[in-house]
Amino acid sequence: MTALWYAARNAHKEIVGILINHGADVNAQDKKGKSVICHAAEYQHKEIVVILLANGADISTKDIESRATIKIINQAKRTLRKKSKKKSRKSKDPK
Residue pLDDT, tens place only, 25-73:
999 998 988 899 988 988 889 899 999 999 999 988 887 878 777 787 7
- Tell me the residue ranges of DSSP E strands in 1-95: none
**Cα(46)–Cα(71) distance, rounded to whole angstroms?**
15
Specify if 48 maps to a domain: yes
Residue pLDDT, tens place only, 72-93:
777 877 877 777 767 666 666 6
Count of structural domains within the chain: 1
**Cα(55)–Cα(30) distance, rounded to whole angstroms?**
19
**For residue 39, what are the domain limits?**
3-80
Specify if 66 maps to a domain: yes
For residue 71, the number of C-alpha atoms closer than 13 Å in the C-beta half-sphere is 8
Band of pLDDT at residue 18, cut at 50, 70 and 90: very high
